Amino acid sequence: MLKVPVCWLLAGLLGFSSWVQADPAAEALWAACPSGLPKSDVQGRPLDWVAWRHTPVLAVIWSPDCAFCQRHNAKLDALLREVPGAAVIGIAVDSPTEAVTRTVQRRGYAFPVIADGSGPCAVRPQLTPRRVIPMTCWLGDAPTQPRCIPGEMSDDDLRDLLKAQARSRRHS
């Protein structure tokens, strides 16, 4: 009979349970929302959820009034030119949709941005209890933990996330 030390068994169970609980897919975030998945971003560009179904998605939670968010999103937008086809969505919080739309148009973000909903359509509380912005979250099988990374990230860290996402797409 195989004898496994109790500490290894508990560590394995804890790791498995965190993996099972912490694997949100982009589509699952709107499962309880009566209107379902957003059909388009704040600029009216259609969102292709089917294309994102089998790939991890980077979700960046941000606010139009946040200077750190503006720098973070500008870096991310520039890096997206290096990693074509990356699945990224911005989720703007704490602002009306009109203000989000104006900010996205003024900043020229190429990635789609939605305004976070409320009640059962709110995404941020499903991803993290923390209200730090910007917050970059990995939706799908996470390559590392933590799943949500608070604060403005460096170019290298964002580049690494986008490259990990590209590797995940190739292996799925």
Q: What is the pLDDT of residues 64-85, one digit of tens each?
A: 999 999 999 999 999 998 888 8
- Proportion of the chain in helix, strand, coil states, percent, rounded to 5: 40, 15, 45
Both tokens assigned to 172: 């799925």
Q: What is the pLDDT of residues 139-153, one digit of tens each?
A: 877 665 568 999 999
pLDDT value at residue 14: 31
Closest CA to 140 of 47, 37, 26, 50: 26
**pLDDT-wise least confident of 18-32, 38-52, 126-140:** 18-32
Q: What is the pLDDT of residues 89-140, one digit of tens each?
A: 999 999 999 999 999 999 999 999 999 999 999 999 999 999 999 999 988 7
Segment (H or E) for 97:
helix 97-107
DSSP E strands, 13-129? 57-62, 88-92, 113-115
Residues 6 or more apart whose Cβ sits within 8 Å of residue 131: 124
In order of start, what are the domains of the chain with their CATH numbers? 57-170 (3.40.30.10)
pLDDT value at residue 172: 60
Q: How far apart are CA 31 and CA 20, in angstroms?
A: 17
Q: Judge whether 40 and 122 are in contact, CB under 8 Å.
A: no
Q: Is the pLDDT of residue 17 over 90?
A: no
Q: How far apart are CA 52 and CA 119, in angstroms?
A: 24
For the entire predicted model, the pTM comes to: 0.82
β-pair partners for 46:
40
